Structure 1
């Protein structure tokens, strides 16, 4: 049911993309853990969330808004980015997202990304392409992956499993070029296909979960009624 609520929120919340360079506090990796049901129920879906960009991984059907900072509310509908003062052309852009057990939800499918695949980042009004050159599992205390080494790269981080864990999956990519207008249009077309595919799969999943929930409820009521008689 928690996943169903998050799917609903993702598909119905308003997100507006804005240019921003506001600084945020550094967040340790151990602070990013899967949300509990209370956090999901506390989600404010009547406000407009301001994203600083969009991240697209066509091979693993990821298409998410990217927010400045890492907050509980934003992480339920997209990915968070640390160090917004960094520039993609010269520095390490760090993006963190939740892995909640369902592939088509948030960063759930990031663990399937392979070396050589492309990552596209629409960020602060510009569009960038990276090629994944490394994937690994690390301890949550290994904060050196957040460091800027003076290279144009991207670091994608999520939990290695959909429960509380002290390990993180990391995918690093190197900036290869800024795509041409034609390439950008092709990626945006792929993005539409990703959105439709994820929406279809998530809708089917929600129907199945709700049907099973109602079935269990009916069975439970019948058992209670028989016991009370």
Structure 2
């Protein structure tokens, strides 16, 4: 009896290990859809943006692809009250919630803000996101973005459109890319590989337009 129990446990453990990458990807896809800003209102997003947030990974060098068990743990902590907007990059298929605070849970649900003082359409607006083995998840598609592509972020009051102007690889220790700037720009940051790596892909763009969010519905 004991031998059968041990064999059963070993088989189940093996199945979990085999299926864990698929389970992890499915959970991440579910979280990013569940926390979509489009399911909230502009008032709710504004209230969320005034809440206190944690920036555990302010030195974005600490942002690394999560393990299966880290994903399970963080998934339980994904908080709708952290959602402050949505980012859409049609050219590479990105459509993710923007969450305030660079925490493990937030990073597994969408794109995360990296400074407590950042505001859409003002100065530098940096966002971090994971690069997963399934290239279509989170910020993985940024590897294929091209100069001239457009990025739209929204707080459901206004849509802020940026045009990509730069794309480079920097060391994970280069925290200068998230600092405030006089120019109105967006900075998107992810790992340059879907594995632990000392480098980061940094994509930058300039603000080219601000329109009322409801305008696109008329």
**Deviations 1:162-194, CA, capped at 9 Å, x for gaps:** 1111100010000011136687449xxxxxxxx
Kindly state the Cα deviation for residue 147 of structure 1 after the two structures are TM-superposed. Answer: 1.6
Q: Verify: 1:130 aligned to 2:165, yes or no.
A: no
Using the TM superposition, name which of 8-17 and 155-164 deviates more.
8-17
Aligned match of 1:63: 95
Q: Verify: 1:53 aligned to 2:85, yes or no.
A: yes
Kindly state the Cα deviation for residue 48 of structure 1 after the two structures are TM-superposed. Answer: 3.6
Work out the CA distance in 2 between the residues paired with 1:67 and 1:130: 19
Work out the CA distance in 2 between the residues paired with 1:90 and 1:41: 35
Specify every segment of 5 or more residues in structure 1 that has no aligned partner in the other structure, as ranges: 187-229
Asked whether the 8 Å contact 1:14–1:47 carries over to 2, the reply is: no
Q: Secondary structure at the match of 2:151?
A: strand
Kindly state the Cα deviation for residue 77 of structure 1 after the two structures are TM-superposed. Answer: 1.3
Work out the CA distance in 2 between the residues paired with 1:119 and 1:41: 30
Work out the CA distance in 1 between the residues paired with 2:180 and 2:78: 36
Kindly state the Cα deviation for residue 56 of structure 1 after the two structures are TM-superposed. Answer: 0.5
Decide which of 95, 98, 117 is 1:85's aligned counterpart: 117
Q: Verify: 1:39 aligned to 2:39, yes or no.
A: no
Q: Secondary structure at the match of 2:211?
A: coil
Work out the CA distance in 2 between the residues paired with 1:68 and 1:181: 20
Kindly state the Cα deviation for residue 22 of structure 1 after the two structures are TM-superposed. Answer: 4.4
Asked whether the 8 Å contact 1:121–1:127 carries over to 2, the reply is: yes
Aligned match of 1:168: 200
Aligned match of 1:220: none
**Deviations 1:130-153, CA, capped at 9 Å, x for gaps:** 000000011101111112221100
Q: Secondary structure at the match of 1:179?
A: strand
Asked whether the 8 Å contact 2:159–2:212 carries over to 1, the reply is: no
Using the TM superposition, name which of 94-103 and 36-45 deviates more.
36-45
Q: Secondary structure at the match of 1:59?
A: helix
Aligned match of 2:45: 18
Work out the CA distance in 1 between the residues paired with 2:178 and 2:79: 30
RMSD: 2.5
**TM-score w.r.t. structure 2 length?**
0.76
Decide which of 28, 33, 38 is 1:6's aligned counterpart: 28
Asked whether the 8 Å contact 1:51–1:65 carries over to 2, the reply is: yes
**TM-score w.r.t. structure 1 length?**
0.72
